Amino acid sequence: MAMIRPHGSDQLKPLFVYDTEEHHRLSHEAESLPSLLLNSAAAANAVMLGGGYFNPLPGYMNLADALSVCREMHTREGLFWPVPVLNLTDDIEAVGKAERIALRDPNVEGNPVLAVMEIEDIERVSDEQLREMTEAIFGTLDPAHPGVATFTSLGRHALSGPIQVLNFSYFQQDFPDTFRTAVEIRNEIAEHGWEKVVAFQTRNPMHRAHEELCRMAMDRLGADGLVIHMLLGKLKPGDIPAHVRDACIRRMVELYFPPNSVMVTGYGFDMLYAGPREALLHAVFRQNMGATHFIVGRDHAGVGDYYGPFDAQAIFDTIPEDALEIEILRADHTAWSKKLGRVVMMNEAPDHTKEDFILLSGTKVREMLGQGIAPPPEFSRPEVAQILMDYYRSQQD
């Protein structure tokens, strides 16, 4: 059976330069080109383009495509796409009239060249256009929303054109066991011989409820494998750092899942906190990495009270049927049922009241861990809780 097609093309077209001679030539050329120091958002876009996650885009979008994506969820050529992929900056002095520039990495010491870009256009983004894009992506203009705060501060000039990517920023060095490109994940799925593959998105350590949700999804779909795919890029203050999450997830998989049934991987992107639109973007790049099914939970990719609990699922009903080949598994909150002695999906336990579940808020759990108190085993695996308690204690020292 053939693997699921990438989004918008028959073959995956990663923008990383794999040919060693060409890589060497470009790296050499980049040293003599005018440089642009990217912001973290544009750098993350380059990493995603390089790894094939943003297939079939050839580079950064121009303003017309970005606005079309915001208004109609497709580029002007008709490619379904939910969130514009931009290179915004205020620093166009250095670029001048150059046709090719070196894009430098803001997140690695010494700002090495991340990619070489061919400049097709430099356009000024008006206040009105920035407002329109912000509202379309995030559903709000509230500056207290972390995604809005970041997006509106990136710069007022959009540089568009194709890029050739030369490295994967800090992700390969910092997370050698976890960071994977869409190309690598496809290859690994093929090696496993998996046909039905469920992807699970996370930016947090996984509690019992997440673990059981993945298990339920695999059982219900008769899946061959699960790809836990964690965000490794920038988060908002207070979120748990990637290396701690990574350790928690690996421990859980090692102890509680059958061998060779789960791949623990990560991708290099900064969190947008864009709720529904980000859920669609998540589905696009999970299809590109070869997953056939994607779990969209309650409050997926949300923050605060900006989105309704199931908005990120409902948005899939508004897109054209043929927009994506990947299928969505819609999940409700999962929690431990005291009545049944196991984790259930809350909407599948109609005879339960709130008191019948073990429910702890994130704040409450952080408080407990900070005091060295393990949450109940029905909520968090003891081995995972231990890693988190050690982390919180190290923060207090």
Residue-level pLDDT, tens digit, the chain, 397 residues? 689 999 999 999 999 999 999 999 999 999 999 999 999 999 999 999 999 999 999 999 999 999 999 999 999 999 999 999 999 999 999 899 999 999 999 999 999 999 999 999 999 999 999 999 999 999 999 999 999 999 999 999 999 999 999 999 999 999 999 999 999 999 999 999 999 999 999 988 998 999 999 999 999 999 999 999 999 998 887 788 999 999 999 999 999 999 999 999 999 999 999 999 999 999 999 999 999 999 999 999 999 999 999 999 999 999 999 999 999 999 998 999 999 999 999 999 999 999 999 988 877 888 899 899 999 999 999 999 999 999 999 988 7
- Whether 55 is a known active-site residue: answer no
- Whether 215 is a known active-site residue: answer no
The CB density around residue 353, as the number of other CB atoms within 10 Å, is: 8
Best CA proximity match to 166, nearest among 14, 7, 6? 14
Class of the CATH domain delimited by 20-172: alpha beta
Report yes or no: 293 and 197 within 8 Å, Cβ to Cβ. Answer: yes
Between the CA of residue 5 and those of 9, 160, 228, 287, what are the distances in Å?
A: 7, 27, 20, 7
Q: Looking at the domain 179-396, which fold is it?
A: Rossmann fold (3.40.50)
Marked catalytic residue, from 204, 215, 330, 366: 204
Q: What pLDDT shows up at residue 236? A: 80
For the whole model, what pTM was predicted?
0.96
Dihedrals phi, psi of 79, to nearest 5 degrees: -75, 125
How does pLDDT run across 10-31, given as a tens digit for each residue?
999 999 999 999 999 999 999 9
Report yes or no: 38 and 114 within 8 Å, Cβ to Cβ. Answer: yes
Q: What pLDDT shows up at residue 1? A: 65
- Boundaries of every domain in the chain: 20-172, 179-396
Between the CA of residue 102 and those of 29, 43, 133, 296, what are the distances in Å?
A: 9, 12, 27, 37
Marked catalytic residue, from 5, 100, 156, 203: 203
Calculate ∠ Cα 20-24-26, nearest 5°.
115
- Which residues, in sequence order, are CB contacts of 51 under 8 Å at separation 6+? 14, 16, 168, 180, 181, 182, 183, 267, 268
